[in-house]
Amino acid sequence: MKVLLVRPEVPNLFKYANLITSEPIELEYLYTELKIRKYETLIFDGVFEERPFRKILETFEPDLVAITGYITQEDLMIGYARQAKSHNLSVATIVGGVHVQLNPERFKVMGIDYIFRSESMESFGTLVDALENGLTIPESVNGLIHRCGDRWIENVMVPVEIDKLPIPDRSYFHAHKNRYNYLDLTSVATVKTSFSCQHNCNFCYCTKLGGGVYNARSLDLIIEEISGIDTDNILIVDDDFLAEIERAKAFVEKVRAAGLEKNYICYARADAVASSPGLIRDMAEVGFKYFIVGLEAISDEDLRHYDKKTTEVINRKCIENIQNTDAQIIALMMVSQMATKKDFVELYKWAEKNKLVYTTVSIFTPIPGTAVYEEHRNKLISKKNGHWDFLHLVLEPENMTRFQFYFHFIWLSYKLYRLGKKSGGFNFDRKRQKKKR
């Protein structure tokens, strides 16, 4: 059995920004499982691949095409599956990943045979073994949805035991590591140490993943994984790396004991950062360089509206604790369709007053699979999947025209960039770095 693993290209403005590019870690997980089972496997990373997909199909002639992707890539995912089928009807196609997990219905379409909802690599291997041997698909394949004549059969889905996931084989990363960056850090590897989040902010998609159950990996496995990656920079993509303060402290101790001298980037909640100045100092000391924090809003009313369970005072304390170290905060802010001109202006003033260097602003976007999506689904003004990138209005602005909203949004984003630049942020030239390689 020959398996082609596909990550589609980035279909939106992110491809031009060039500020953050991550390794195709989800494909590397699949690759690892298939390697253990001795299948011939090829990774097609649409983000960088220059050869047409057709050429890859012709030269590799896969038996199975496995495709990952996010909501913005839904059409591309389906397109890749159909292209594989039109190349050779007997090729089996499977889709998986975060978007598929909570929106499987959208993939019950022509061209797709298997919809894989869980994170279990053992189940993925079991499925490929069954296909290889022409066996009936076992019910034990966690969360799988597959065709049976003109019906779809749905296996039960249970949260995965995260320690059962293999440590990803990084051959692909090591061969291409100069492609992956995070702001000024280059050769950045991605590491996942937990699934889901213990909180329940009403707009959040991440907390619903992994069966909605927070599940953390053993620290020894994580240290083993990081030690085996030949790079200085690690992006930890847990939804909240500070979900368990004691675990984070133990991580710092283990990094020290292992003598791991690397730079780390992680996501964290504002309240955890605000209440743990000592931990933040220790983390900065062992190499944490960026803390990405969803501050979201600057008023308690808005924070309550998002069910964030933080306050403006907590947000300020969080900023202060990070700014008291050598690390930087990357503040993730949100503006909703209810924003007024004053809200845009105040947000900038707040960022300036709090000396923020890296601040990103998203437009409130209800993601299919969340409760806020159900609440707003009749009011959506777009049906284009590509608009679910947090940079487009998918709800009608309530206090200005669409044109005015975009004007204020772009102007604010530009001003925040200028503010960061003035304080020494964005101090790198990615284009030049690329040419040098």
Show the binding pattern over residues 218-257: x = contacts ligand B12 (CB under 6 A), - = does not. Answer: -------------------x-x------------------
Choose, by CB under 6 A, the member of 4, 66, 297, 329 that binds ligand B12.
66
| Interacting span for ligand B12 (CB under 6 A) from 69-77, 311-319, 371-379, 424-432 | 69-77
Residue 92 or 334 having the CB closest to ligand SF4 = 334
Residue 201: contacted member of ligand SF4, ligand B12, none (CB under 5 to 8 Å, by partner type): ligand SF4
Taking CB under 6 A as the rule, does residue 240 contact ligand SF4?
yes
Lay out the site mask for ligand SF4 across 253-292 (x = CB under 6 A, - = otherwise). Answer: ----------------x-----------------------
Q: How far is the CB of 190 from ligand B12 (least distance, A)?
A: 5
User: How far is the C-alpha of 236 from the C-alpha of 257, rounded, in Å?
Assistant: 19
Asked if residue 31 binds ligand B12 (CB under 6 A), the reply is no
Q: Which is nearer to ligand B12, 353 or 434 (CB)?
A: 434
Q: Which of residues 357-396 bind ligand SF4 (CB under 6 A)?
A: none
Stretch that binds ligand B12, among 97-105, 150-158, 340-348, 397-405 (CB under 6 A): 97-105
Q: Tokens 């308690």 identify what position?
A: 300
Annotate each residue in 186-205 with x if it binds ligand SF4 (CB under 6 A) or - if it does not, as one string: -----------x-xxx--x-
* Residue with Cβ nearer ligand B12 (94 or 339): 94
Choose from ligand B12, ligand SF4, none: what does 95 bind? Cβ within 5-8 Å by kind: ligand B12
- Out of 46, 96, 294, 425, the residue judged to bind ligand B12 by CB under 6 A: 96
